[in-house]
Amino acid sequence: MQKALLIDPEKCTSCLQCELACSFEQEGVFNPAKSRIKVFEFEHGLKAIPYTCTQCSEAWCLHACPVEAITINEATGAKEVNPNTCVGCKVCTIACPFGTINYNADSGKVIKCDLCSGDPACAKACPTDAITYVDANWTGYDRMQEMALVGHGRPAKGAAQ
Amino acid sequence: MSNSPYVIVGAGPAGVIAAETLRTNNPVTPVLMIGEEKEAPYSRMALPYLLAEDIKETGTHLRHTDGHFDTRGIEIRNDRVSAVTAAEKSVTLASGGTQAFSKLLIATGSHAIRPPIPGTDLPGVENCWTLEDARAIAAKASKGSNVVLMGAGFIGCIVLEALAARGVHLTVVEMEDRMVPRMMDQTGGAMIKSWCEAKGVTVLTSTRIEEIAANNGALKLTLGDGKSLDADLVVCAAGVKPNIAFLEGSGINTDTGVLVNDRMQTSDANVFAAGDVAQGIDFSTGANEIHAIQPTAADHGRTAAMNMIGIDTPFQGSLSMNVLNTLGLITSSFGQWDGVAGGDTAEITDNDRFRYVRLSFQDDVLVGALSLGMTQHVGVLRGLIQSKVRLGHWKERLMANPLLIMEAYLARTQGSVFGI
């Protein structure tokens, strides 16, 4: 059973532990600017929504990549960027309608959430269970993804991978 | 005739993605892809990175696994289709003979054009469009050489980055009054120009090249104002045109490109078109437009393949969009960035820090956007436009601060729990 990040904004206190954990796991530094999960604050931080790639089945980034640098990790279902193949053209960054794959000027490549190979650091670091790593068929996750996808035209079903 | 293969003319991204989609969804009918270039299927998008020596030639390939096409039962043939006889469901091959098809996909892309200027046929004037072109440029664009780039459109600006990386003395000459006029307004175009000039590139806008002449083994260019430029190499990025000449007399309707409906079907029910050659539905206007970009090629290829199989798959239209890196300054454009009649526009400009965001609305829906100096979450601009999210009171917030695009998107799609 594949798992997915479930985000419950009502539990988020905007402590940014997830961003620190992500940047440390992925980049080796405690720097929210390098995190692949981002907490967006509303009403001066009283309300907050942690946000990252939902590993959507449409995989806009993957299909837009001209050099096959984005592939699916069969074990986790994550869409992963191969930095050795990525040329840094950034087409995926405009193709992803969620804005969750971004260019990293330091490396000249794009970066996105890869679920930390099945052990996401953000979920482990979250003290309030606003971010949990759960079975992907949990209905709340589906509902969240549905909300995120409201109105988006989707690529043809049965799209080649 | 049910044994006739699906024939795909062209082996670029649209053709390859269509071939794979056909294979995935119909394992029975053979798939034959006919490509004119003697190369493994590759991406033109990647050529600048080859020129910049970031990657090797294999790094431009669309697929990297050995035997990728063989194992999927996709036959690739090096040939050129010279004519289509739709009524007989057959194509004529330049090597001789014909090839029958059950369904045909035209994915022939486009070719670089040379402007009607004397001397553009001289040795030392190169396009930058094919892998072969890139090899020719790489051989001549050595460190310290004088290179003139004709055209500062989208392709010109991508090549600009690669040429600068090779350490050449670079002059860019653009006929129109700004850089990337099709993807940037005056404000953005001017910022890109001053950024490039600060990085040591000479940028001449509103400037025509009148003539190119041989000059002691090099080239001399005469400009509209009478001045001249010396060049060891001239790279021509003066535009591209769809490859449709072979369709003359086929009865298939063409305009600038091949006209298709929302199933990527041409005027002949058995013939489809995809990618840069296809004049397909524009998401913003509903008109037939060419959007020569990778995401559109991918969407076209998949949609065409599904409909070729007979799985009815409508396409909502492609969104015009681009992302560009000019010497480290990253810009993007989406949809109707120049605004629509009766709509509102919000802008935020910081000339000193090279930041600029412009949003165009129709009522409370985002219909277009420009960004300059922004790399985080730019894709959400596509999301807001293409999902037609009604922004409600967030529109006023965006009018006051266009940088709040992610907040607006989240509030309007996931913020209902909070009432934000």
What's the pLDDT tens digit per position in B378-404? 999 999 999 999 999 999 999 999 999
Do B218 and B157 share a structural domain? yes
Question: Measured between CB atoms, does A64 come within 8 Å of chain B?
Answer: yes
Q: What is the reported pLDDT for A148?
A: 53
Task: Give the count of beta carbons closer than 10 Å to the beta carbon of residue B111.
Answer: 14
Strand, helix or coil for residue A103: strand
- Residue A154 predicted with pLDDT over 50: no
Give the CATH number of the domain where residue B382 resides. Answer: 3.30.390.30
Do B255 and B231 share a structural domain? no
The CA-CA-CA angle for residues B151, B152, B155, to 5°, reads 90
Do B244 and B225 share a structural domain? no
Q: And the tokens for B195? A: 């950024």
Give domain status of residue B216, yes or no. Answer: yes
Average pLDDT over residues B234-263: 97
Question: Measured between CB atoms, does B397 come within 8 Å of chain A?
Answer: no
Do B187 and B145 share a structural domain? yes
Q: Give the model confidence (pLDDT) of B57-101 as tens digits.
A: 999 999 999 999 999 999 999 999 999 999 999 999 999 999 999
Best residue of B294, B380, B420 to probe chain A, by most A CBs closer than 10 Å? B294
Buried b (16+ CB within 10 A) or exposed e, B112-140: beeeebebbeeebbbbbbbbebbebbbeb
Do B133 and B218 share a structural domain? yes
**Of the ranges A42-56, B135-149, B252-266, which one carries the lowest mean pLDDT score?**
A42-56
For residue A99, which residues of chain B lie inside 8 Å, CB to CB?
A: 376-381, 383, 406, 409
User: To the nearest whole angstrom, how far is the Cα of B252 from the nearest Cα of chain A?
Assistant: 25
CA distance linking residue A40 with residue A47, whole number of Å: 9
Do B103 and B246 share a structural domain? yes
Q: What is the reported pLDDT for B56?
A: 96
Question: Measured between CB atoms, does B368 come within 8 Å of chain A?
Answer: no
Last residue of a domain, one of B280, B309, B338: B309
- Centroid of chain to Cα B208: 24
- Residue A156 predicted with pLDDT over 60: no
Do B361 and B381 share a structural domain? yes
Do B245 and B204 share a structural domain? no
Strand order through the sheet with B218-223: B209-215, B218-223, B228-231
Q: What is the reported pLDDT for B417?
A: 67
- Residue A142 predicted with pLDDT over 90: no
CA distances from residue B177 to B85, B186, B223, B240, B324 in whole angstroms, order as listed:
44, 8, 15, 20, 19
Do B250 and B175 share a structural domain? no
Q: What is the reported pLDDT for A16?
A: 95
Do B215 and B133 share a structural domain? yes
Q: Give the model confidence (pLDDT) of B259-276 as tens digits.
A: 999 999 999 999 999 999
Last residue of a domain, one of B253, B279, B309: B309
User: What percentage of chain A exceeds 70 in pLDDT?
Assistant: 84
Average pLDDT over residues A109-138: 93
Question: Measured between CB atoms, does B277 come within 8 Å of chain A?
Answer: no
Chain A, nearest residue to B72 by Cα: A160
Give domain status of residue B316, yes or no. Answer: no
* H/E segment holding residue B368: strand B365-372
Give the CATH number of the domain where residue B28 resides. Answer: 3.50.50.60
What is the full DSSP assignment across B207-218? --EEEEEEETTE
Give domain status of residue B381, yes or no. Answer: yes
For chain A, which domains are there?
3-148 (3.30.70.20)
What is the full DSSP assignment across B144-167? T-EEEEE--SHHHHHHHHHHHHTT
Residue B359's domain comprises 328-417
The count of domains in chain B is 3
- Residue A127 predicted with pLDDT over 80: yes
User: What percentage of chain B exceeds 90 in pLDDT?
Assistant: 97
